[in-house]
Protein backbone atom coordinates (compact mmCIF):
# COMPACT_ATOMS: atom_id res chain seq x y z
CA UNK A 1 0.00 0.00 0.00
CA UNK A 2 2.82 2.43 0.83
CA UNK A 3 4.45 1.68 -2.55
CA UNK A 4 1.16 2.46 -4.32
CA UNK A 5 0.91 5.79 -2.48
CA UNK A 6 4.50 6.64 -3.40
CA UNK A 7 3.77 5.89 -7.07
CA UNK A 8 0.63 8.04 -6.98
CA UNK A 9 2.65 10.89 -5.53
CA UNK A 10 5.34 10.52 -8.19
CA UNK A 11 2.73 10.39 -10.96
CA UNK A 12 0.98 13.48 -9.57
CA UNK A 13 4.21 15.45 -9.34
CA UNK A 14 5.33 14.40 -12.83
CA UNK A 15 1.94 15.18 -14.33
CA UNK A 16 1.89 18.69 -12.92
CA UNK A 17 5.59 19.26 -13.57
CA UNK A 18 5.37 18.43 -17.26
CA UNK A 19 1.81 19.48 -18.02
CA UNK A 20 2.96 22.73 -19.64
CA UNK A 21 0.59 25.60 -20.33
CA UNK A 22 -2.52 23.71 -19.21
CA UNK A 23 -1.37 23.24 -15.62
CA UNK A 24 -2.11 25.17 -12.46
CA UNK A 25 0.98 26.85 -11.04
CA UNK A 26 2.12 24.66 -8.10
CA UNK A 27 3.14 26.53 -4.94
CA UNK A 28 3.96 25.42 -1.39
CA UNK A 29 2.63 27.09 1.74
CA UNK A 30 5.04 26.23 4.60
CA UNK A 31 2.36 27.26 7.10
CA UNK A 32 0.37 30.42 7.67
CA UNK A 33 -1.50 29.96 10.92
CA UNK A 34 -2.41 33.61 11.54
CA UNK A 35 -3.76 36.60 9.66
CA UNK A 36 -0.38 38.30 10.12
CA UNK A 37 1.47 35.37 8.55
CA UNK A 38 -1.01 34.86 5.68
CA UNK A 39 0.42 33.25 2.55
CA UNK A 40 0.33 35.98 -0.11
CA UNK A 41 -1.06 34.46 -3.31
CA UNK A 42 0.89 35.94 -6.22
CA UNK A 43 -1.15 36.92 -9.27
CA UNK A 44 -4.50 35.49 -8.13
CA UNK A 45 -5.86 35.79 -11.69
CA UNK A 46 -3.55 32.89 -12.68
CA UNK A 47 -4.59 29.33 -11.82
CA UNK A 48 -2.81 27.93 -8.77
CA UNK A 49 -2.56 24.80 -6.69
CA UNK A 50 -1.12 25.60 -3.24
CA UNK A 51 -0.16 22.61 -1.12
CA UNK A 52 0.08 22.73 2.67
CA UNK A 53 0.57 20.25 5.49
CA UNK A 54 -2.31 21.15 7.79
CA UNK A 55 -1.87 20.87 11.53
CA UNK A 56 -4.53 19.27 13.73
CA UNK A 57 -6.59 22.04 15.29
CA UNK A 58 -4.92 24.65 13.09
CA UNK A 59 -5.85 26.84 10.17
CA UNK A 60 -3.99 28.40 7.28
CA UNK A 61 -4.59 31.90 5.91
CA UNK A 62 -4.19 32.97 2.26
CA UNK A 63 -4.23 36.65 1.20
CA UNK A 64 -5.67 37.59 -2.21
CA UNK A 65 -5.22 41.16 -3.47
CA UNK A 66 -7.73 41.62 -6.26
CA UNK A 67 -9.22 44.22 -8.53
CA UNK A 68 -12.95 44.94 -8.73
CA UNK A 69 -14.96 42.17 -10.35
CA UNK A 70 -12.46 39.38 -9.56
CA UNK A 71 -14.18 36.00 -9.89
CA UNK A 72 -13.09 33.71 -7.04
CA UNK A 73 -13.39 29.99 -7.81
CA UNK A 74 -11.61 27.86 -5.21
CA UNK A 75 -11.86 24.38 -3.68
CA UNK A 76 -9.89 22.32 -1.15
CA UNK A 77 -8.55 18.91 -2.10
CA UNK A 78 -7.43 16.20 0.33
CA UNK A 79 -5.23 13.20 -0.41
CA UNK A 80 -6.93 9.87 -0.97
CA UNK A 81 -4.59 8.54 1.74
CA UNK A 82 -6.48 10.59 4.33
CA UNK A 83 -9.42 9.02 6.12
CA UNK A 84 -12.82 10.72 6.35
CA UNK A 85 -11.83 12.45 9.61
CA UNK A 86 -9.69 14.92 7.65
CA UNK A 87 -11.97 17.23 5.70
CA UNK A 88 -10.84 20.87 6.06
CA UNK A 89 -13.39 23.70 5.96
CA UNK A 90 -12.90 26.64 3.60
CA UNK A 91 -13.78 30.23 4.51
CA UNK A 92 -13.72 33.57 2.69
CA UNK A 93 -12.98 36.32 5.24
CA UNK A 94 -12.49 40.05 5.02
CA UNK A 95 -13.91 43.52 4.99
CA UNK A 96 -16.91 43.71 2.71
CA UNK A 97 -17.76 40.02 3.17
CA UNK A 98 -21.27 39.66 4.62
CA UNK A 99 -21.24 38.98 8.35
CA UNK A 100 -22.87 35.84 9.71
CA UNK A 101 -25.18 35.78 12.72
CA UNK A 102 -22.46 33.88 14.58
CA UNK A 103 -18.99 34.77 13.41
CA UNK A 104 -16.12 32.30 13.95
CA UNK A 105 -13.75 33.39 16.72
CA UNK A 106 -10.87 33.94 14.28
CA UNK A 107 -12.66 36.64 12.25
CA UNK A 108 -11.53 40.20 13.15
CA UNK A 109 -14.17 42.68 14.33
CA UNK A 110 -15.93 44.44 11.46
CA UNK A 111 -15.17 41.68 8.96
CA UNK A 112 -17.52 39.05 7.59
CA UNK A 113 -17.04 35.39 6.79
CA UNK A 114 -18.73 32.89 4.51
CA UNK A 115 -17.94 29.22 4.14
CA UNK A 116 -18.97 26.46 1.85
CA UNK A 117 -20.58 23.36 3.20
CA UNK A 118 -21.34 20.02 1.75
CA UNK A 119 -19.67 16.68 1.44
CA UNK A 120 -16.32 15.97 -0.13
CA UNK A 121 -16.53 13.84 -3.25
CA UNK A 122 -14.08 11.38 -4.77
CA UNK A 123 -11.89 13.06 -7.36
CA UNK A 124 -9.54 11.71 -9.99
CA UNK A 125 -8.13 13.99 -12.64
CA UNK A 126 -5.08 16.03 -13.63
CA UNK A 127 -2.90 13.44 -11.93
CA UNK A 128 -4.71 13.82 -8.59
CA UNK A 129 -6.48 11.04 -6.71
CA UNK A 130 -8.23 12.33 -3.65
CA UNK A 131 -11.26 14.06 -2.21
CA UNK A 132 -12.59 17.40 -3.43
CA UNK A 133 -14.43 19.76 -1.14
CA UNK A 134 -17.26 22.01 -2.26
CA UNK A 135 -16.37 24.98 -4.47
CA UNK A 136 -16.49 28.53 -3.15
CA UNK A 137 -17.39 31.00 -5.90
CA UNK A 138 -17.90 34.74 -5.45
CA UNK A 139 -17.30 37.95 -7.33
CA UNK A 140 -15.10 40.14 -5.15
CA UNK A 141 -14.53 43.87 -4.99
CA UNK A 142 -11.13 45.51 -5.12
CA UNK A 143 -8.95 44.98 -2.05
CA UNK A 144 -7.45 42.20 0.02
CA UNK A 145 -9.57 39.19 0.90
CA UNK A 146 -8.54 36.11 2.83
CA UNK A 147 -9.16 32.42 2.38
CA UNK A 148 -8.93 30.41 5.59
CA UNK A 149 -8.60 26.63 5.61
CA UNK A 150 -9.63 25.17 8.98
CA UNK A 151 -8.04 21.75 9.36
CA UNK A 152 -10.23 20.42 12.16
CA UNK A 153 -9.27 17.77 14.66
CA UNK A 154 -6.97 15.98 12.22
CA UNK A 155 -4.06 17.21 10.17
CA UNK A 156 -2.90 16.07 6.77
CA UNK A 157 -1.81 17.14 3.32
CA UNK A 158 -4.23 19.22 1.30
CA UNK A 159 -4.20 21.89 -1.33
CA UNK A 160 -6.39 24.72 -2.50
CA UNK A 161 -7.05 24.99 -6.21
CA UNK A 162 -7.71 28.48 -7.58
CA UNK A 163 -9.20 28.79 -11.06
CA UNK A 164 -7.77 31.37 -13.42
CA UNK A 165 -5.73 31.81 -16.56
CA UNK A 166 -3.63 28.74 -17.33
CA UNK A 167 -0.08 30.08 -17.46
CA UNK A 168 3.07 27.98 -16.85
CA UNK A 169 4.87 28.73 -13.62
CA UNK A 170 5.02 27.72 -10.02
CA UNK A 171 8.02 26.91 -7.86
CA UNK A 172 10.28 23.88 -7.30
CA UNK A 173 9.00 23.79 -3.69
CA UNK A 174 5.43 23.67 -5.00
CA UNK A 175 6.19 20.77 -7.31
CA UNK A 176 7.97 18.88 -4.50
CA UNK A 177 5.03 19.43 -2.13
CA UNK A 178 2.65 17.87 -4.65
CA UNK A 179 4.64 14.65 -4.35
CA UNK A 180 3.98 14.67 -0.59
CA UNK A 181 0.24 15.23 -1.18
CA UNK A 182 -0.17 11.50 -1.92
CA UNK A 183 0.24 10.71 1.78
CA UNK A 184 -1.81 12.04 4.65
CA UNK A 185 0.54 12.29 7.60
CA UNK A 186 4.08 13.58 7.95
The pLDDT value given to residue 186: 61
Quick check: is 186 in a domain? no
Which residue range(s) make up the domain with 144? 2-180
Quick check: is 84 in a domain? yes
Quick check: is 185 in a domain? no
Quick check: is 101 in a domain? yes
Using 50, 70 and 90 to split pLDDT, how confident is the model at 128?
A: confident
**Percent of the chain residues topping a pLDDT of 90:** 62
Quick check: is 103 in a domain? yes
Calpha distance 109→154 (Å, rounded):
28
Quick check: is 138 in a domain? yes
Using 50, 70 and 90 to split pLDDT, how confident is the model at 56?
A: very high
CATH code, 169: 2.60.120.380
Using 50, 70 and 90 to split pLDDT, how confident is the model at 134?
A: very high
Span 123-150, average pLDDT: 92
**Cβ 74 vs Cβ 90: under 8 Å:** yes
Span 41-52, average pLDDT: 95
Using 50, 70 and 90 to split pLDDT, how confident is the model at 23?
A: low
Q: What is the pLDDT of residues 154-180, one digit of tens each?
A: 889 999 999 999 999 999 999 998 888
Whether the pLDDT of residue 6 is over 80: the answer is no
Q: What is the pTM of this model?
A: 0.86
Q: What is the pLDDT of residues 142-160, one digit of tens each?
A: 999 999 999 988 889 999 9
Which candidate, 60, 50, 52, 65, places its Cα nearest to that of 170? Answer: 50
Quick check: is 147 in a domain? yes
Query: Number of structural domains, the chain?
Result: 1
Span 36-45, average pLDDT: 96
Amino acid sequence: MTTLRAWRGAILAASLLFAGAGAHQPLFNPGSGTLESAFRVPQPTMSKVITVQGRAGGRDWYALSTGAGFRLDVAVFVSSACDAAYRPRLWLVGPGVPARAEQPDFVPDGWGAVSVSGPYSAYSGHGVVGWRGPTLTRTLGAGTHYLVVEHGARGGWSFISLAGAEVPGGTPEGRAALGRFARCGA
